[in-house]
Each structure stands twice: as structure tokens, then as C-alpha cells.
Copies of this chain bind each other. A is one copy, B any other.
Amino acid sequence: MRIYLAGPEVFLPDAVEVGRRKVEICGRHGLTGLFPLDIEQPARRMTAAEIYRACLAAMRQADAVIANLSPFRGVGADPGTAFELGFMAAQGRPVFGYTNESRSLFDRVTDDAGPLRPVGDLRFAADGLAVENFGHFDNLMLAEALLAHGHGVFMPDAPLDDPARDLSIFAQCVARAAAILLDSSAGRSVGTC
């Protein structure tokens, strides 16, 4: 089973090493990890269009996705990773996800954007925008996409020391994905949205 490994760790200076560790963890659970930097051609600098087409081809070949939905340069997940989660969900493939952030979206916005102002059922942050309050880790489209496939996001109970590189929550997610996918490939069905 090929698992597309979406996430913003491709922007780390040691992205190749982090990707190698992610693929290794997948292998330990009988899964083949497809890490975006491995899909690209390291011998030369690819254009953005070439990277896009290579990632799309990998997603079309992949049996499922495991997305790193940790906050990226702001309150929410990396939009590139969110795009890929939506792409895989639309293909009807099982989508798995994790975050290395221990707080809910509501708590993060409250921490970052100040006290909330209630208007009816809604709560508005100091930036003038309502904050989703479903107890989810991020925007409901991401959270519910994961739940629609039979499980929620994997997240830590407390802050991690190195959230950009810690793979303990990823490993939990891989173990669960392997249990579901390999059981499924043995004849049982996996719920899709």
C-alpha cells in the first residue's frame, strides 16, 4: 500500500532526512511511504509546474494519504497540505492526519488573537472574524474529512519539544493507518466520505 506523505516538513533544512525517517516508519508497518522530495528529481531544480504535476501523479498512484496538519506560519495548517488532503478525499481514498500541536484551533486563536466577543452562538476574535468552536484541531473541513474515514486526527496531549521534527505522533498515525489499510486490503472495507 502506497501512502502519500503530505506535510510542510519539505521546507525544513533537513527535509531529506526527516522524509527518510518517515518512509522508514512506514516500512516498519508494511506501508510504502511516498515523500514529495523523493518524487522530485534531485539532480536539477524543477519548476513549480513540474513539482505540481509530480505530486499530482504521486497522489493519483497512492492508496491513502497521511497528512501533517500542524500549524504552519500562522494559526492553521499549511495550505499546500490542505489542498492535498482535499485532493485525496475527492478521489475517495482513505485520508489520515496528525498534528504536532496539542491545542485546539479555538484555543490557539484565543491565545494568538486575544479575548473573544460573543455574538449569538458565535465567538469573534480581535481580528473581527468568527472562530470555529467545534473542539476541532483546525478548520472543520480538515477535521471532518479525517472523521469521515473512521478516525480523528492524531495529536499530542502536551506541547512537543521539537514539533517540526518530532515523529512520535506520526508513528501513532502510521500504526493506525496500517491496521486499517492492511486489514482492508485483506477484504474488509474502509469507510469513505
Interface residue ranges, A against B (CB under 8 Å): 8, 11-13, 15, 45, 47-49, 51-53, 55-56, 59, 69, 71-91, 109, 112-113, 119, 121-122, 124, 127-132, 134, 136, 138-145, 147-148, 164, 193
Contacts and interface: CB of A to CB of B under 8 A. Distances in A.
Contacts of A73: 74-76, 109, 112-113, 127, 129
Contacts of A124: 13
28 contacts: A8-B129, A11-B131, A12-B130, A13-B124, A45-B121, A48-B132, A48-B144, A51-B140, A51-B144, A53-B144, A56-B193, A59-B90, A72-B76, A74-B75, A76-B76, A77-B79, A78-B139, A79-B79, A79-B139, A80-B82, A83-B83, A83-B141, A83-B145, A84-B86, A85-B86, A86-B87, A86-B88, A87-B90
Contact of A82 (B47, B82, B113, B193): B82
Copy number in the complex reads 2
Nearest to A133: B48
Contacts of A76: 72-74, 76, 78-79
Contacts of A13: 119, 122, 124, 128, 130
Given A86-B85, A148-B52, A12 B128 contact: yes
A80 B48 contact: no
Given A78-B79, A130-B11, A193-B56, A143 B86 contact: no
A11 B129 contact: yes
Contacts of A85: 83, 86
Nearest to A52: B144
